[in-house]
């Protein structure tokens, strides 16, 4: 029996007209369209990933979007919510390393990662202590709550109280070299700076611009119940930190390379570094230390150990010339 004869015979039954199937299917499609089309329009209002021009000035942005796009879990907030960007937190995951682009831009991204994880080798001339960027920005700048690069990138340019003017992202990185690395900043057009900005940009690929991403910076702790105390902090340090950082806080080196970073003294960050503020150190320690056991110290212990670190000598803030 051919389809046509079946169709004609069914038409005659009065119980079932095959045209009903066509009607039902088209009805479903119309309803689905009403739901999905506006949703697509909303999704299109998200800033396209190429909205920020790459500082390296290259056209090679890697693979086709969609194949390796990082995941923004929450939809980009609507413009009304964006006005309160400070308080909005959007989930974001940076793209996996396997999707790093090729070509000139890819090389810049790779060099950026190399500088970031082994600053002592790849940006030697700009560093005057024994730290590497990755010591404070764990997971090669990826780890949430450890000042990840992908969350910082989209928040600049911004006004900073620290130097009372609007800072570009490059200037923000320059601050890291001057204070945290106790060195001098690479010029904005140097290959090191271009590489670091490229790496940051690539990690932030697909993240909304100018929006506070979840995991940015170090999660600030509420004020402690007791005033932070260096003597209590010393005990916390000896019980939990000295294992890797040494009782003298000077870290551990293996064949000339820093495995565990020095926390004070001439080989550590200087008095102008963000980490030299007790509240930042407490926040970092609480979220990330001991390595792999973040959030295991109590908040009070984190404040106390940060106070202990603050009681130790370090290179002076270059803006003040505080004595060592």
Partner 1 sequence: MPLSFIVAWIPGSRIRVLPRLARPPARITSLLAGVASITWVVTGASLAHADGLAGATLAQKGNGGTPACMTCHGAQGEGQAAAGFPRLAGQSQAYLLKQLQAFAGGERKNPVMAPIARSLSAAQMRDAADYYAGLPGWKQAGAPHTPSAQYAQGLKIATEGDWTKEMPACFACHGIAGEGVPPHFPALAGQPMAYTQTQLNAWRAAQRTNDPLGLMQAVAEKMSDAEIAAVSRYLENPSRPGKEK
Give the interface with partner 1 as residue ranges (CB under 8 A): 93, 97, 138-140, 142-144, 146, 240, 243-244, 252, 254, 257, 259-260, 290-294, 296
Give the separation between CA 140 and CA 134, rounded to whole angstroms: 5
Contacts of 109 (CB under 8 A, 6+ apart): 100, 101, 195, 198, 199, 202
Question: Looking at the DSSP assignment, which residues form a beta bridge with residue 198?
Answer: none
What's the closest the beta carbon of residue 139 comes to partner 1, in angstroms? 4
Contact 195, 112 (CB under 8 A): yes
CA–CA distances in Å: residue 207 to residues 26, 72, 195, 228: 38, 7, 19, 37
Output 18 or 139, the one with its CB closest to partner 1. Answer: 139
What's the closest the beta carbon of residue 34 comes to partner 1, in angstroms? 37
* Integer-rounded Cα radius of gyration of the chain: 27
Output 49 or 294, the one with its CB closest to partner 1. Answer: 294
Output 178 or 245, the one with its CB closest to partner 1. Answer: 245
Give the separation between CA 151 and CA 144, rounded to whole angstroms: 8
Contacts of 289 (CB under 8 A, 6+ apart): 240, 241, 297
What's the closest the beta carbon of residue 213 comes to partner 1, in angstroms? 14
Contact 176, 169 (CB under 8 A): no
Output 78 or 97, the one with its CB closest to partner 1. Answer: 97
Output 53 or 254, the one with its CB closest to partner 1. Answer: 254
Contacts of 201 (CB under 8 A, 6+ apart): 52, 54, 55, 153
Output 146 or 270, the one with its CB closest to partner 1. Answer: 146
User: Is residue 251 left, alpha or beta, with left meaning phi > 0 and alpha meaning psi from -120 to 50?
Assistant: left
What's the closest the beta carbon of residue 28 comes to partner 1, in angstroms? 39
Output 113 or 178, the one with its CB closest to partner 1. Answer: 113
């Amino acid at each position: 029996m051919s389809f046509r004869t079946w169709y004609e015979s069914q038409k005659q039954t009065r119980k079932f007209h095959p045209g009903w199937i066509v009607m039902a299917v088209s009805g479903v499609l119309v309803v689905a369209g009403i739901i999905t089309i506006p949703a697509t329009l909303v999704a299109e209002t998200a800033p396209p990933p190429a909205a920020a021009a790459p500082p390296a000035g290259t056209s090679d942005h890697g693979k086709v979007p969609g194949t390796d796009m990082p995941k923004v879990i929450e939809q980009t907030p609507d413009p009304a919510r964006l006005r309160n960007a400070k308080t909005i937190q959007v989930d974001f995951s940076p793209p996996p390393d396997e999707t790093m682009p090729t070509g000139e831009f890819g090389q810049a991204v790779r060099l950026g990662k190399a500088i970031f994880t082994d600053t002592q080798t790849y940006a030697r001339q700009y560093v005057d202590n024994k730290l590497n960027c990755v010591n404070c920005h764990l997971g090669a700048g990826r780890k949430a709550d450890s000042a990840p690069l992908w969350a910082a990138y989209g928040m600049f340019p911004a006004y900073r109280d620290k130097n009372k003017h609007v800072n570009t992202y490059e200037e923000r990185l320059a601050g890291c070299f001057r204070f945290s690395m106790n060195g001098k900043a690479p010029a904005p057009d140097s290959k090191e700076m271009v590489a670091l900005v490229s790496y940051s940009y690539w990690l932030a690929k697909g993240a909304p611009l100018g929006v506070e991403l979840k995991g940015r910076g170090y999660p600030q702790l509420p004020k402690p119940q007791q005033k932070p105390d260096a003597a209590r902090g010393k005990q916390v340090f000896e019980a939990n930190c000295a294992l890797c950082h040494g009782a003298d806080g000077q870290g551990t080196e293996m064949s000339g390379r820093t495995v565990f970073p020095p926390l004070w003294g001439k080989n550590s960050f200087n008095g102008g570094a963000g980490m030299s503020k007790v509240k930042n150190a407490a926040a970092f320690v609480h979220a990330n230390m001991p390595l792999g056991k973040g959030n295991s110290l109590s908040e009070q212990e984190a404040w106390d150990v940060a106070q202990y670190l603050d009681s130790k000598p370090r290179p002076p803030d270059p803006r003040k010339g505080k004595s060592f």
